[in-house]
Amino acid sequence: MHQIKNKKRLCFISPAIYPLLCQDTNVRSAGGSEIQLKTIGCELAEMGYEIHFITDDYGQPPVEKVGKVWVHNASFRYLGKGKRYLLIDWLKLVRTAYKIGAKRYFLKLPKDALLPLGFLCRLTNRKLVYIGQSDKDVDLKLLFKVQSKIAASIYRLGMFFVNTTIAQTEIQLKGFRNFGKQSSLIKNVVTFPLVNFTEKDNSILWVGNDTINKQAHVVPELALQLPDFQFKMILATKNGSKADILFKQKSLKIKNFEYLGFVPFHQIAPYFTKAKIFINTSLREGFPNVFLQAWQNATPVISLNVDPDQVIIKHSIGVCTKGDLSLFIDSINKFMTNKEFTKKTGRLAKKYISEEHDLAKGVQKYIKVIES
């Protein structure tokens, strides 16, 4: 185990991570980004680092200790309740970060917070580390298309203050270096406890949120076209939301479409364990946490558009159809009907995970960034 010469205080900023840290089943906000930061942060805390998280206001105390990490209450109202809260929320974020007094601050989301945190770190001689979320983070032309010019400009200005970056993919690594930033490639790590192989059922699993990018509407359409297979959908959305009501209605009409709604992270592993294949319909991603969760459980991934660094193709651990819906449907059919081929692909997926996304290896790479 790595020996820590001097105990270091580190801070991770993640607005939606509080429910995940506290295993609150009533709040449905945490996703892959938060799961990664929780896993890394808690592992560093186990190794003796003093870890602090700054989160949104969920009604918790201003400061509390959860397990071995400290959790601080800030405010990110501007992300959902209007930009009129922007300056006052940024001020509270800066004040909270200053009081923590960390040597390094890590941010993945929201990107615009790079600007106030960057000012703080520059004025107080502290270090700011930005963790790439999506490949579009390094594509300014795309950013200015999918975001407002103001939001994209704030991000670009915030990047000026970043000391170093962490890339999830080779595309991000190259892009950050083109920005003139020092960057380290640290692949996402496994986030489920190690599990023994179990016999698969005949389910096809989809997990995501109800943003336009995820294209959740495709799943019940697939179920209609493939009536011999059972589709299961887990959707991170509020009970009673438009998406929640819509998919509940569809599940009553489509016999082979089971809508499970929101499932807390600490209860979701069995669905990946039992699924025969995992499908992804997103338009774009960084490196999806759900891919790792599937592969860790020897579950092949059939992706409509996304293949980060072409790992699916290179390692033969599923299929990416590059937007071809007909091929996507044919691939699902092939994996669901060819039992031996699917098992072989699942074994390759599990091997890939152990070699490329091991938690201990990932944490050691974070330590190199911390101590550099």
**53 three-state secondary structure:** strand
| Stated pTM of the model | 0.89
pLDDT value at 199 more than 90: no
Q: Can you tell me the mean pLDDT for 320-325?
A: 98
Segment 31-43, tens digit of pLDDT: 789 999 999 999 9
Q: Cα–Cα distance between 119 and 128 in angstroms, integer? A: 10
Segment 340-357, tens digit of pLDDT: 999 999 999 999 999 999
pLDDT value at 194 more than 70: no
Q: What is the DSSP code (8-state) at residue 191?
A: -
Segment 153-173, tens digit of pLDDT: 999 999 999 999 999 999 999
Q: Tell me, what amino acid is at 11? A: C
Beta strands in the chain (DSSP E): 9-13, 50-55, 63-66, 69-73, 104-107, 127-131, 164-167, 182-185, 203-209, 230-236, 257-261, 277-280, 301-303, 318-320
- What's the pLDDT score for residue 135? 84
Please give the structure tokens belonging to residue 353.
């995970």
Q: Cα–Cα distance between 137 and 269 in angstroms, integer? A: 29
Q: Can you tell me the mean pLDDT for 107-117?
A: 96
pLDDT value at 3 more than 70: no
- What's the pLDDT score for residue 209? 92
Provide the percentage of residues in the chain whose pLDDT is more than 70. 95
Alpha helix segments (H runs only) across 161-241: 170-178, 218-225
pLDDT value at 5 more than 60: no
Q: Cα–Cα distance between 184 and 294 in angstroms, integer? A: 25
Q: Cα–Cα distance between 209 and 301 in angstroms, integer? A: 18
Segment 276-313, tens digit of pLDDT: 999 999 998 889 999 999 999 999 999 999 999 999 99
Q: Please, which pLDDT band fits residue 360 given cuts at 50, 70 and 90? A: very high
pLDDT value at 6 more than 60: no
**158 three-state secondary structure:** helix
- What's the pLDDT score for residue 292? 96
**What are the CA-CA distances from residue 333 to residues 173, 290, 319 (Å)?**
36, 21, 12
Provide the percentage of residues in the chain whose pLDDT is more than 90. 82
Q: Cα–Cα distance between 219 and 73 in angstroms, integer? A: 37
Nearest to 135 by CA among 307, 327, 286: 286
Segment 230-273, tens digit of pLDDT: 999 999 998 999 999 999 999 999 999 999 999 988 889 999 99
Beta strands in 227-310 (DSSP E): 230-236, 257-261, 277-280, 301-303
Average pLDDT for the chain: 93
Q: Please, which pLDDT band fits residue 104 given cuts at 50, 70 and 90? A: very high
C-alpha Rg value of the chain to the nearest Å: 21
pLDDT value at 126 more than 50: yes
215 φ/ψ sector (left φ>0, alpha ψ -120 to 50, else beta)? left
- What's the pLDDT score for residue 4? 44
Q: Cα–Cα distance between 292 and 300 in angstroms, integer? A: 10
Find tokens 């380290």 and name the residue: 184
